[in-house]
Amino acid sequence: MLARLHSRMAIEWDASLATGHKVLDTQHHELFRRVNGLVEAVAAGRGGDVVLDTLVYLVEYTRQHFAAEEREMRAAGYPELETHRRAHARFFEAVAALQDDVEQTGTPPSLVETVDRMVVEWLVEHVKKLDRQYAEWLRRDQP
């Protein structure tokens, strides 16, 4: 079963998103829960404060999650760390820019598509590809 987007763009967790790495999967569950909160706020047309508060939290959570993931990769000697780090940086910058836009202009109707494209799709693909590659590398190449 593939990850499905429901209730507009919300992420439904399924086996295709699991990496098999307990810490990563736990953090991803929380990250997806927060992204779903953002999706729901945007889709329901909630006020800018709700959307902004959710974005602020998402920016901080991704900063912490990405830093922890990269520290672990560095400690394990993961050869694709730099590629992974660059992907994290691009996502973080996009979400931070989205936060800035909402702070400056509020929540335009185009925010629905922007969140879908910049946040939901990126996150699902990142977990399915790069995070899963890392978890598989750990299982295969680490004692």
**Tens of pLDDT, residues 123-143:** 888 888 999 999 999 988 776
The 3-state DSSP composition of the chain as helix, strand, coil percent (nearest 5) reads 75, 5, 20
pLDDT of residue 118: 77
pLDDT of residue 3: 40
Tokens of 91: 């996502």
Separation between Cα atoms, residue 8 and residue 91, nearest integer Å = 21
pLDDT of residue 76: 92
pLDDT of residue 6: 37
Query: Which residues in the chain come in under a pLDDT of 70?
Result: 1-10, 46-48, 109, 112, 143
**Tens of pLDDT, residues 22-41:** 888 888 888 888 888 777 77
Kindly write down the DSSP assignment for every residue of 51-71, as one continuous string.
Answer: HHHHHHHHHHHHHHHHHHHHH
3-state DSSP assignment of residue 12:
strand
Q: The domain 20-28+48-141: what is its CATH number?
A: 1.20.120.50
Separation between Cα atoms, residue 112 and residue 41, nearest integer Å = 10
Which residue in this structure is represented by tokens 């602020």?
56
